[in-house]
Amino acid sequence: MRPLRGLFGSGGRAPFRDPAPTRWAYRYQRLMLTPSFRRAVRVGLPTALLVFIGSYWAAQDKNRAAVTAQYNEFMTDFQHRPEFMVTGVDITGANVSVAAAVSGLVDVEFPISSWSLDLPVLRERVLELSAVEDAVVRIRAGGMLEVAVTEREPVAVWRHVDGLRLIDTEGHMISMIPNRSARSDLPLIAGDGAMDNIEEAMALFAAAEPVFDRVRGLVRMGERRWDLVLDRDQRILLPTEDPISALNRVIALHQAQDMLDRDIVVVDMRNAGRPTVRLSSYAMGGLHRVHASSGAEE
């Protein structure tokens, strides 16, 4: 057996080793007991290293170009899958002329990917048509672009300097018509500011229902008041304030005494306290003859 002296030195004892850690090892162990430092070492440093490497890689123009090209190719292939393709347009709720106008506004070449369609913009284009009150634009199952149109309903014909126009209950112009007979079922209004007071005009037409078969239209005078025009060139001059009540008085007099069946040209109701009538020239001539004969007899 080998003597122990040779292993442990001349004295036969092992060299002394201090079991305590070094100063730096002690400080490191103490820091590792701190949760925030431990997270910084285990998570923060690897993350910072990855960010540095990624930033350096992305700073190269050729690397960015390659990633952009791959992304664009992937998105193009994805967006042009068959389930995303739109093959045509279907316009509902519109007459032939409005449908043709809508079709012209939806200037899209089919087939097209639904990702390439801006539905809100298409809807705004359709709403620019004066005949359209509302529109719903959506992609229907089966790859069809559906445009559901709600048309404005005309309630009157407005005679303006450039022709006849249809207007709705809000005074919006819908379309032009060639002549009055094209929409003889609708009442006629005329004059500057008439379309801005369509609600009052429709109330006056409703009040004139007992003589509506004789009504030819309403004329806005001076953008302040209405004249109700009847056949036989008769006019009812209505006041600025509360014209419906004034018209109801005229209708009541007519129903009681057949006033509008007489030779009267104008019924002036502008002064509520002093309504007046103007006779026709023939009636005035007859009245003068009656007065003349009465004077001669006296």
Q: Could you report the per-residue pLDDT of 70-82, keeping only the tens digit for each?
A: 988 888 888 888 8
The hierarchical CATH code for the domain 156-293 is 3.40.50.11690
Q: For 18-70, what is each residue's pLDDT tens digit?
A: 666 677 877 777 777 888 888 888 888 889 989 999 898 888 899 889 888 99
Average pLDDT of 101-122?
90
pLDDT at 169 over 80: yes
The predicted pLDDT at position 13 comes to: 63
Q: Are 89 and 106 in contact (CB under 8 A)?
A: yes
> Domain locations in the chain?
21-48, 84-151, 156-293
Q: For 249-269, what is each residue's pLDDT tens digit?
A: 999 999 999 989 888 999 999
Residue written as token pair 């002329």: 97
The predicted pLDDT at position 249 comes to: 94
Total length of the chain: 298
The predicted pLDDT at position 56 comes to: 86
Q: For 179-206, what is each residue's pLDDT tens digit?
A: 999 999 999 999 988 989 999 999 999 9
Q: Are 238 and 204 in contact (CB under 8 A)?
A: yes
Average pLDDT of 104-132?
90
Q: What is the DSSP string of 41-61?
A: IIIIHHHHHHHHHHHHHHTSH
Q: In CATH terms, are 84-151 and 156-293 the same topology?
A: no
The predicted pLDDT at position 288 comes to: 53
Residue 298 makes CB contacts below 8 A (sequence gap 6+) with none
The hierarchical CATH code for the domain 84-151 is 3.10.20.310
Q: How would residue 4 be classed by pLDDT, with cut points 50, 70 and 90?
A: very low
The predicted pLDDT at position 26 comes to: 76
Q: Are 256 and 246 in contact (CB under 8 A)?
A: no
Q: How would residue 244 be classed by pLDDT, with cut points 50, 70 and 90?
A: very high
Residue 113: its H or E element: strand 112-113
For residue 91, the SS3 value is strand
Average pLDDT, the chain: 86
Percent of the chain with pLDDT over 90: 47
Burial class of residue 98 (count of CB atoms within 10 Å of its CB; 0-12, 13-18, 19+): buried
Q: For 138-162, what is each residue's pLDDT tens digit?
A: 999 888 999 999 999 999 999 988 8
The predicted pLDDT at position 1 comes to: 46
